Structures are given as structure tokens and as C-alpha cells.
Amino acid sequence: MSDDSGSGYVTGGEYSRDSNYITDRITADGSGGWPVEAGRYRLVVARACPWANRAVIVRRLLGLEGAISMGMCGPTHDERSWTFDLDPGGRDPVLGYERLQEAFLARFPGYDRGITVPTIVDVPSKQVVTNDFGQMTLDLSTEWTAFHREGAPDLYPEKLRDEMDEVMQRVYTEVNNGVYRCGFAGSQDAYDQAYARLFTALDWLEDRLTGQRYLMGDTITEADVRLFTTLVRFDAVYHGHFKTNRHKLTEMPVLWAYTRDLFQTPGFGDTIDFPQIKEHYYVVHADINPTQVIPAGPDTANWLTPHGREELGGSPFGDGTPPGPLAEGEEVPADHGPGGIGHR
């Protein structure tokens, strides 16, 4: 079964994500063979994918655009691979590839696991380095500090890491992956259990965020990035397509205000392409949506309405500063953002 981060499987009706990733790391000391080096690596993403969206946001918040280039796949893929169909001639202009799969096969000729985004590719050899999305963004925060912009936030503060790791693990299992367990459930019982777990976690988050502006307190961290990329897709995709329909996000007052607060923070909402998100899920998941018809709604103009979260105090970047304008060529088309009407 194909999903937006590669592949998964259903056993006994219950969906499990294939999490067998390439776990190489790019580190400041280069101890694993991949040293931090500006201009050497290319981050390959797709705007549709929540796991890749994390890396897009973190790269932007930290100001790493000049150090790590970014390649963009289109919103759909087939069983083999994500493709560069948004680029002229359907080829990534830096790697020269039509398919992300080519970077995996260049290093592992018999590679037979999921071809997933985000992926970091070594430009000189055109070989995959890693597609370990969980570690990747933490390394952008901790190993790439020499290339962070002035005023960049500390997204993985050392003093908070133990608690953060617990929060992020629960967010991953119960929310980020929880929506998929609902959507791909192969039996009523598996769906019912997945649904209960998801909304138990969302209720926990609603409570946690009632008295504090962000998941870890007064400033944004990686934990917020990870939760945001699921919540921003909730009403557009998961509520209907994945049957996560106890409530819409817009009907959960605290989480709706929290997600709008983040959406309106530079680096978050300006990475979101609603038509690409919808096209991906409703076209690629043909087993769930055999007609591949893409819904016209929901209206996204409400993402820009006041959220009122400033009253809780705190500041998204603490003593730092927001990122500057989007890099040239990385802007989301105007009609693909809040209130946009374009489908694709």
C-alpha cells in the first residue's frame, strides 16, 4: 500500500508504516562519512507530504536556504517513485533525475524499499544520503548551526529534550501516524481503535495547549512543527478522506486557534499548498478514493482570521527573529494558499 511517505502494510486490519529508512546522518564532524558542507546536498521534498513539510519548515525557520538547495516533486506519484513533474522537462534541474528513485538506485542498485520524501541527496555523487525524516530535521537544528541565519530559533533546546522527545513520540504515534491508521484501517475494529486513539490524543493536546501558547511553552520548537503539518491537513483531507470525523479542526477551539497562530507565523503557512495536498491524497490513494475526484472544499480563507493566542504571552521566536521572505522560486502560488480556488 502506498502513502505519502513511501509504503505501509495492513495486517489483521491494522495499518503499520514501513519505517525502514536509510539512517545515515550529516554531521558537523563528518564522523559518519557525510560532513556538513554548504552547497553539497539537496533536500528533495513534496509540498503535499506532511513528513516532507516538516523539513521545508525547519530549513526555512533556520535560514538554511543558502546552504541546502531544495528540489520539489509534484503532488502525485506512482508505485515506483515521486517524480519531478513540476520542473521543465520533468527533470530536477540540479540532479537531472526524472524520479527520486534514481538517487536511491545510484547508491543501492537493488533498492526495494519505499522511495520517500523528504530525502537528502549528495549532489556530487547524485546518491541518496538519508530519508530518515525524524532525525533529519533534528540534525538541521543541531549539526548545521554554522549556517543558521542570525536570529534563528533553537528548535530543539537541550534543557527540554527529554520532555520534547516524549511529546513528539506521542504526537507521532497517535496523531501524525494516527490519521493514517484510521484511513488505511482494513477492518471496522481496527478503524474503531485507531479513531479512539487519535481523538484521545487530540483531547490531550487541546488540554495541554489551553494554558500555554506552544507545545513546549512560550516559543516554537520542533514539536510544534511536527504537530502543525498534520493539523493543517486535517479538514482538507483527513476528516473526510481518512474518516477522522468526530470533529473538524475548526470545531476544536484550542487546536484551531493554535494551528492558525502557527499558520500565520512566517515559515509555517507560507509553505502550505492546499491544492497540492488535496490532489496528492485524493488521487494517489485510489484504493480509498477510486474515482480520484478531488473535493472543491473546504474554504481556506478562515486560516487568516484572528486567533487570539497572543493573550497567553510568549513569542514564536523568543529573543530571535522571524525568517525573511521566501527564497526565489520557493513561493507557493497565490491561488494555492488561504482562500485560493485552484485545484492543481
Q: Is 41 assigned a catalytic role? A: no
- Chain position carrying cell 486490519: 13
Out of 15, 21, 49, 156, which one is annotated catalytic? 49
Contact 15, 81 (CB under 8 A): no
Strand pairing partners for 243?
none
Helices vs. strands in the chain: H and E counts, helices first:
10, 7
- Annotated ligand binding at 256? The verdict is no
Which residues make Cβ contacts (< 8 Å) with residue 259, sequence separation at least 6?
A: 228, 231, 232, 249
Q: What share of the chain is helix, strand, coil (3-state, %, to 5)?
A: 40, 10, 50
Beta-strand pair 69-73/41-46? parallel
Count, residues in the chain: 344
Spatial distance between the Cα atoms of 68 and 188, rounded to a whole number of angstroms: 44
What single string gives the DSSP state of each residue in 105-122? HHH-TT--S---SSEEEE
Spatial distance between the Cα atoms of 188 and 307, rounded to a whole number of angstroms: 37
Out of 156, 180, 238, 281, which one is annotated catalytic? 180
Q: Is 49 assigned a catalytic role? A: yes
Binding residue ranges for glutathione: 82
List, by residue number, the catalytic residues.
Answer: 49, 180
Binding residue ranges: 82
